[in-house]
Amino acid sequence: MNKKIKYLIILLVVAVAALCGLLFFQHSQMNEMVEQMAFEKEQLEEEYEDLVIQFDGYQNIEIKNDSLQDRLAKEQQRVQDLLEELRITKVTNARRIAELKKELATVRTIMKGYVAQIDSLNRTNKQLTEENIRVKDQYHTVSRQAEQLKQEKTQLTEVVNRASMLEIRDFEFLPLNKRDHKTRYIGQTVKFQFNYTIAKNITCSPGIKILYLRVINPQGELMQKDTTMRFPFESGLIGYSSAREFEYSGEEQTGTMYFPLTAEPDKGIYNAEFFADGNLIGTFPFRIGK
């Protein structure tokens, strides 16, 4: 074998070795690139998954804006679709992975705008809620004050009404016989006599008034000669036993009323009730018999 052939063989061996080394180096670099791309793809998937979780969190928030809620739902579905596409995209498809990365950046930008709107709505809703609570508190306070004033007015009106009412005092009951003399015998009693005094009251309106007397027997029944004898009281009509017209000037005055009997009275405790101006102005018990 001549020297030229030897040199050619050696040169060929060196070239083959160099080519093998180059191929091994390129293969190593390719593996490293694939590993790097796989790592980046995995990171991109995690970022998409985090964004999906973020969307889920906002779906659980009550957003009182239908348009914004619809847009959030559409963006959430879009992110979910892109995530599914990314998962099935090959690691070596660098172009599509880069596009998906840009899509992620776009969605994040849109998401920031939605987040700002949601925060603004939440702040507004919070302010409105606080204002609503404040207004309700003020309303309740005013209502309580109005109710208190109403009660005070009612109480004051009652006080004034009571102060302007007539009052019967110095009540005296006498059982009378047929000669109009006082008797202590029930069998001889044919008439009841009631003596009374109307107290002085300058706050009561003067004028012609009617004094009504109701005599209640021991059985709690009204004693009267005619059941048609009635007078107005508390938005209704009630019966009376006897009535007397008088003129009142505000000064004290005495009076007498009678109630004739149609039968011998029962033993027991009776009640005499006096009414005037639509008010009960005196009630007095009295006894017949021992």
More confident residue, 42 or 194: 194
pLDDT classification of 59: cutoffs 50, 70, 90: low
CATH code reported for the domain at 168-288: 2.60.40.10
pLDDT classification of 270: cutoffs 50, 70, 90: very high
Which of 13-22, 73-82, 134-143 has the highest average model confidence (pLDDT)?
A: 134-143
What is the share, in percent, of the chain residues with pLDDT greater than 90? Answer: 36
Q: Is the pLDDT at 61 greater than 70, yes or no?
A: no
Burial 132-146 (b: 16+ CB within 10 A, else e): eeeeeeeeeeeeeee
Would you state the pLDDT for residue 134?
83
Instruction: State the average pLDDT over residues 258-267.
Output: 93
Number of Cβ atoms within 10 Å of the Cβ of 256: 11
| 228 contact partners, CB below 8 Å, separation of at least 6 | none
What letter represents residue 83's amino acid? L
Would you state the pLDDT for residue 119?
67
Would you state the pLDDT for residue 159?
47
Would you state the pLDDT for residue 67?
72
pLDDT tens digits, one per residue of 119-153: 666 677 677 777 778 878 887 887 788 777 677 66
The lowest-confidence range among 15-24, 81-90, 118-127 is 15-24
Domain ranges of the chain: 3-126, 168-288
pLDDT tens digits, one per residue of 161-207: 556 689 999 999 999 999 999 998 999 999 999 999 999 988 888 89
